[in-house]
Chain A
Amino acid sequence: MLYAILCYHDEDFVGSWSKDQDEAVMKKLAVVQDKLTQQGRLGPVARLLPTTAAATLRKEDPPLVLDGPYAETKEQLLGFYIVDCKNLDEALDVARDLGAVNPGGAYEVRPVGVFRPGGLSA
């Protein structure tokens, strides 16, 4: 069974970390990640850019693009894609294509800050 571990934190707090504090945390995380990698148990790891960099595509007809992660709280995170796109327009196009075959809900399009592909085969 594969488990997704989703990271939540207060952005006001994380945004107030000094560069040194941030680097220290990332270094300690890397130690944990490396151990899992060596055991062949780690898949992709991504650190997302701040929520303010996100846009949300509501899968209405026509689809509606909103600023920020405005997906309603009654909706739950059900999965995620990592897609390589040149810019926001291209990413939204992909989201639109996905939405066209999967009605309802919303996609939050959130730029990735750090990405490690990992070595896990599911």
Chain B
Amino acid sequence: MSEADTAWIETALTSARPQAVGALLRYFRDLDTAEEAFQNACLRALKTWPQNGPPRDPAAWLIMVGRNVAIDEVRRARKQAPLPEDDQAISDLDDAEGALAERLDGSHYRDDILRLMFICCHPQLPATQQIALALRIVSGLTVKQIARAFLVSEAAMEQRITRAKAKVAEAGTPFETPGAVERSERLAGVAAMIYLIFNEGYSASGDTAEIRKPLCEEAIRLARLLLRLFQSEPEIMGLTALILLQHARSAARFAADGSLILLEDQNRSLWNGTMIAEGLALIDKAMRHRRSGPYQIQAAIAALHARAPTPEETDWAQIDLLYGALEVVQPSPVVTLNRAVAVSKVRGPQAALDLIEPLAPKLANYFHFYGVRGAFLMQLGRNDEARIAFDRAIALANTSAEAAHIRMHIDRLIRDNQPKGADGNPKQGTKAK
């Protein structure tokens, strides 16, 4: 078997994974057993598929084989007989099973996957454990891959996942088919988990962006999968659109030295056009439902940025309105802070500053608050106050890229504050007060 063949079989296994593990979980009601059964089925697939060709329905094949292997193992353990050779134990599961598997009932498909995702975003788990568990169980990333993406040691990640699994087992999970209300609650939880995975990858700094990109790509894959299961849910369209539109800019977000490039300074030709097209198509469709929600509104904002051929052509007035709508459905000082940027473009820096001043007590430790505040003050020519805000931002910066970005602002201030030479470039004087 060539390396390329193995890669394609692995892709088939990855794509079948949520459905297969979901169905095995329904049989065995235990994450570890389901996962182990799936892994055994995968080993079997790696042996037989290259010879016999892949089955017509890989997921059904994996479910059937995984279930039989696990049942065999339970029987064997019960008899306490010495373990026979792998091949002998499962020799009766040959292609006859493949044919059977193809007739497997597909009606549970959607609920199985939703249940699998739902278990991973169990509300009793902290966000980091939810994400780790989902990447392990639903996506099938190795502990090593997940540890790398989170920039922690393999041992620490192993422990995090083991703890999450123990908590899930302890909490007990409802396995009955969810009703309409329950399903929509679960759906919201699953959407939030996918969003978290994406943000984990998106918030990377320049030097970790490449390492964490797989998190964003996996979040997109999961969002598309969820949307295929719930094709008429506008918020799932919104979520998928949002992360596609954000990720479309990834090639333009960092300079060669790892520093962050602001939206308005990004080289738009580096944006991924196909991803933008898909995101725009989805948000267009979502809006027709007239049931807006936070993901849709955020996606609509991202869409306005994506649609502008140049930064100057950005429809800031519309963005201001959308942030206003977001403040209603999801009030938060951070949303207001973002809105202030749009307000500054539409009504000037003073109006924007007035909007964010009341947020100071709530955002006293928030890096972006001081960065944005400093920028408004700078535009108003209040350079000393701007400098104080930027200094505070640097102290609160989470990544070296953030700090470097603010330092660039400060350098600009220092440059502008220098006594003007004969060329007389009175930048301060022309600023509107």
Interface of A toward B, CB cutoff 8 Å:
10-13, 15-19, 21, 49-53, 55, 65-68, 70, 87-89, 111, 113-114
Residue of A nearest to B227 (CB): A52
Specify the main secondary structure of chain B where it touches its partner. helix
Contacts known (A12-B16, A68-B231); A111 close to B281, Cβ less than 8 A: yes
Min distance, Cβ A57 to any Cβ of chain B, angstroms: 12
CB-based contact A50/B15 at 8 Å: no
Interface assignment of B379: CB less than 8 Å from any CB of chain A: no
Instruction: Give the top 5 A-B pairs by smallest Cβ distance, nearest first.
Output: A16-B15, A68-B231, A88-B284, A53-B281, A12-B15
Q: A49-B281, A55-B285, A70-B231 are known contacts; what are 12 more A-B pairs with Cβ within 8 Å? A: A13-B11, A16-B12, A17-B11, A21-B8, A49-B277, A50-B224, A50-B228, A52-B224, A55-B288, A67-B231, A111-B278, A114-B274
Please state if B285 and A13 are interface contacts (CB–CB under 8 Å): no
Write the nearest CB–CB distance from B282 to chain A, whole angstroms.
Answer: 6
A-B contact pairs, 16 of them (CB 8 A): A10-B15, A11-B224, A11-B228, A13-B15, A15-B224, A16-B12, A17-B11, A19-B217, A49-B278, A53-B278, A55-B288, A68-B232, A87-B280, A87-B284, A111-B277, A113-B278
Q: Are A53 and B285 in contact (CB under 8 A)?
A: yes
**Number of inter-chain CB pairs below 8 Å:** 70
Any chain A CB within 8 A of the CB of B409? no
Q: How far is it, in angstroms, between the C-alpha of A88 and the C-alpha of B287 when the chains are bound? A: 10
CB distance from B6 to the nearest CB of A (A): 12
Q: B240 near A: Cβ within 8 Å?
A: yes
- A contacts with B: majority SS: mixed
* B285 engages A113 (CB within 8 Å): no
Residues of A within 8 A of B404 (CB): none
Shortest distance between the CB of A84 and any CB in chain B (Å)? 13
A50 touches which of B8, B19, B278 (Cβ 8 Å): B278
- From residue A12, how far is it (CB to closest CB) to chain B in Å? 4
Residues B284 and A89 in contact, CB atoms below 8 Å apart: yes
Are B278 and A12 touching (Cβ within 8 A)? no
Q: CA separation between A11 and B227, bound complex, in Å? A: 12
A21: B residues at CB distance < 8 A:
7-8, 11
Q: Which residue of A has the minimal Cβ distance to B277?
A: A111
Task: Tell me the residues in window 258-288 of chain B with beta carbons closer than 8 Å to chain A beta carbons.
Answer: 274, 277-278, 280-282, 284-285, 288
Most chain A beta carbons < 10 A, residue from B221, B224, B237: B224
CB pair A52–B274 under 8 Å, yes or no, is no
Q: Are A52 and B228 in contact (CB under 8 A)?
A: yes
Is B14 interfacial (CB-CB < 8 Å)?
yes
Q: A42 → chain B, closest Cβ, in Å?
A: 21
Measured in the bound complex, the distance between the Cα atoms of B12 and A52 in whole Å is 20
By CB atoms of chain A within 10 A, which of B221, B240, B280, B281 has the most? B281
Say whether A15 contacts B221, CB under 8 Å.
yes
A11 neighbours in B (Cβ, 8 Å): 224, 228
Nearest-neighbour CB distance to chain B for A74, whole angstroms, equals 19
* Assembly CA distance A15 to B224 (angstroms): 8
**B225 sits at the interface (CB 8 A):** yes
Chain B nearest CB from A67 CB (Å) reads 4
Report Cα–Cα, A30/B284, bound state, in Å. Answer: 31
Q: Compute how far the CA of A111 lies from the CA of B11 in the bound complex, rounded to whole angstroms.
A: 26
Inter-chain contact A88/B12, CB cutoff 8 Å? no
Residues of B within 8 A of A55 (CB): 285, 288
Q: Does the CB pair A52–B240 fall under 8 Å?
A: yes
Interface residues of B in 218-243 (CB under 8 A from A): 221, 224-225, 227-228, 231-232, 237, 240
Determine how close the nearest CB of chain B comes to the CB of A80; give it in whole angstroms.
Answer: 17
Closest to A20 in B: B7
Separation in Å of the B75 CB from the closest CB of chain A? 32
Q: Please indicate the chain B residues that have their CB under 8 angstroms from the CB of A88 in the complex.
A: 281, 284-285, 288
